[in-house]
Amino acid sequence: MTSGSAHRRADARDAALAHAVREGLLGPRSPLIGLLDVDGVLDAVDALNEAFAGPATVQHTFAAKACGLVPVLRLLADAGMGCEVASPGELEQALAAGFPYDRIVFDSPAKTVEELEFALAHGIAINLDNFQELARVDRLLAGREPAGPIGLRVNPQVGAGAIGAMSTATATSKFGVALRDPGAVEAMTEAFAARPWLNRLHAHVGSQGCPLPLIARGVGVAHDLAERINERLGRTRITGLDIGGGLPVNFDDEDDRPTYADYVAELRAAAPGLLDGRYTLVTEFGRSLLAKSGTVATLVEYTKSAGGRQIAVTHAGAQVATRTVFMPDSWPLRVGIFDASGRPKQGPTQVVDIAGPCCFAGDLTAIGRELPVVEPGDVVALYDTGAYYFSSHFSYNSLPRPAVYGYRTGSDGQVRLASVRAAQSVREVVEESGLAQVDALVELRAG
């Protein structure tokens, strides 16, 4: 059964799309845009806070990789979120959006000396990936105390979900200290015993394709390790647990499932003491906070048939829906068809492929879908695309990045839009591709 909030979200989305068409924001001169439901995002933040309410102190951070657009990050900062970053670019985006240093968590398996020095000096929480990085921090600190919390990431090695590339707790994952490897637990215990400033454990099992029991089991392994180390050392050395994010998203229909409340119930079952208040908790959710609130909308340029299959050629393909195009079974998207006025199409259906503009045969965002008859000038909406699809652009064929708009819809049906990111111009694409150095290789050849 579709919830009331899901109905509201669907109605608001349709109203926003129609408004974008009327205002000329989506049309022949701008055939591809992104739309983000601001109220939907804030509802997700509220649901997250409500699910984790209790005796434990919890800092919820947003995984910047899911949508590294500064206005989106600013909205989340204003809503009380922290920010998890995994690169210098994401760190600068978080700072530009207004996240204070003490609400930023820095994760990356390849942090440089310069990046570590900056984080250590400014009180940014750091999750170290391995013992070599831990030794590097020893040298950088040179006996002084860090300005912020420092944790060590563990790989609980609890197995993979349905999408291998999204599973980070496999036996051979590149992330963290593999706990089942010989001597790992003893080495972890010694690391904490020797460093009073080392006070957190970090674990992340994976995201899309990972079922809740698997994710909770990985968190439970980290919690058990914290208990074991604190007991061995005879004092509470580990005071915080960063349990990552990874709540999977339902791409099959409008409903939010599983919910954050579902996840917390699994955590309580897997680690009964996790939420009792003895540990400060950090979360790093990304996709689940934004996905259902985003829509990629694109104009249908042409329709055709090949081998008895109808094909609609649009301007949304691998450049915005990279994962869907290259792994369609793992990342399927729901599709809506609207007429040239932005109204949902009704009537007869047909089986159709929705194609993108990229110059390779597999550039399809939907394959063999039964949809209302599609015609040139119609609008195709790709739903549940608020995470990754807006900000993880694939520059194939030098296609420009589309404009993104945030929207709110009042009880009277009136839509208000705000520009989140302007469309990239073709000139900017050319400049980005080295225009200022146009003669560099010719001059090198001549010299």
Q: pLDDT tens for residues 12-22? A: 999 999 999 99
With residue 148 as reference, give the H or E element that holds it. none
Structural domains in the chain (count): 2
With residue 25 as reference, give the H or E element that holds it. none
| Domain co-membership, 171 together with 240 | yes
Percent of the chain with pLDDT over 90: 90
- Residue 270 belongs to a domain: yes
| Domain co-membership, 302 together with 427 | yes
345-374: average pLDDT: 97
Confidence of residue 315 (pLDDT cuts 50, 70, 90): very high
- What pLDDT shows up at residue 428? 98
| Domain co-membership, 252 together with 314 | no
Sign of the C-alpha dihedral computed for residues 25, 394, 43 and 108 taken in this order: negative
- Residue 54 belongs to a domain: no
pLDDT top residue among 214 and 165: 214
* Residue 110 · residue 76 · CB < 8 Å: no
Distance of alpha carbon 89 from alpha carbon 64, whole angstroms: 10
- The rounded radius of gyration (Å) of the Cα atoms in the chain is 24
pLDDT top residue among 300 and 169: 300
- Residue 414 belongs to a domain: yes
Domain boundary among 266, 285, 304: 285
Q: Does 168 have pLDDT greater than 90? A: no
| Domain co-membership, 304 together with 427 | yes
| Domain co-membership, 13 together with 159 | no
What range defines the domain where residue 243 resides?
A: 108-285
Q: Looking at the whole model, is its pTM more than 0.85? A: yes
408-432: average pLDDT: 95
Q: What pLDDT digit, counting tens, does each position of 229-243 carry?
A: 999 999 999 999 999
CATH number of 424's domain: 2.40.37.10
- What pLDDT shows up at residue 320? 98
Q: Does 126 have pLDDT greater than 50? A: yes
- Residue 355 belongs to a domain: yes
- Which residues lie below 8 Å from residue 403, measured CB to CB, with a gap of 6+? 25, 30, 33, 34, 419, 421, 422, 423
* Residue 240 · residue 202 · CB < 8 Å: no
* Residue 275 · residue 54 · CB < 8 Å: yes
384-389: average pLDDT: 98
- Which residues lie below 8 Å from residue 372, measured CB to CB, with a gap of 6+? 337, 345, 346, 347, 348, 349, 350
List Cα–Cα distances, 52 to 44, 122, 314, 315, 345, in angstroms: 13, 28, 42, 41, 41
What's the mean per-residue pLDDT of the chain? 95
- Residue 61 belongs to a domain: no
Confidence of residue 158 (pLDDT cuts 50, 70, 90): confident
Alpha helix stretches (DSSP H) within 97-179: 113-122, 131-141
| Domain co-membership, 123 together with 264 | yes
Confidence of residue 206 (pLDDT cuts 50, 70, 90): confident
| Domain co-membership, 273 together with 342 | no
* Residue 420 · residue 36 · CB < 8 Å: yes
- What pLDDT shows up at residue 169? 73
Confidence of residue 447 (pLDDT cuts 50, 70, 90): confident
| Domain co-membership, 266 together with 405 | no
Distance of alpha carbon 42 from alpha carbon 37, whole angstroms: 9
With residue 199 as reference, give the H or E element that holds it. strand 198-202
Tell which residue, 317, 314, 319, has the closest CA to residue 301: 314
Q: Does 1 have pLDDT greater than 50? A: no
**Catalytic amino acids?**
359
Chain-centre distance of CA 354, in angstroms? 24
| Domain co-membership, 243 together with 197 | yes
| Domain co-membership, 30 together with 156 | no
First to last CA, the chain: 71
Tell which residue, 213, 179, 207, 169, has the closest CA to residue 65: 207
Pairing of β 335-338 and β 349-355: unpaired
- Residue 393 belongs to a domain: yes
| Domain co-membership, 215 together with 309 | no
Three-state DSSP state, 236: coil
- What pLDDT shows up at residue 160? 78
Domain boundary among 250, 285, 320: 285
* Residue 59 · residue 281 · CB < 8 Å: yes
Three-state DSSP state, 390: coil
CATH number of 278's domain: 3.20.20.10
CA angle 246, 44, 18 (to 5 degrees): 115
pLDDT top residue among 3 and 168: 168
Q: Assign residue 131 a region (left: φ > 0; alpha: ψ between -120 and 50; beta: otherwise).
A: alpha
Q: What pLDDT digit, counting tens, does each position of 63-79 carry?
A: 999 999 999 999 999 99
| Domain co-membership, 136 together with 256 | yes
- Residue 75 belongs to a domain: no
- What pLDDT shows up at residue 2? 58
- Residue 118 belongs to a domain: yes
Domain boundary among 285, 316, 345: 285
Q: Does 132 have pLDDT greater than 60? A: yes
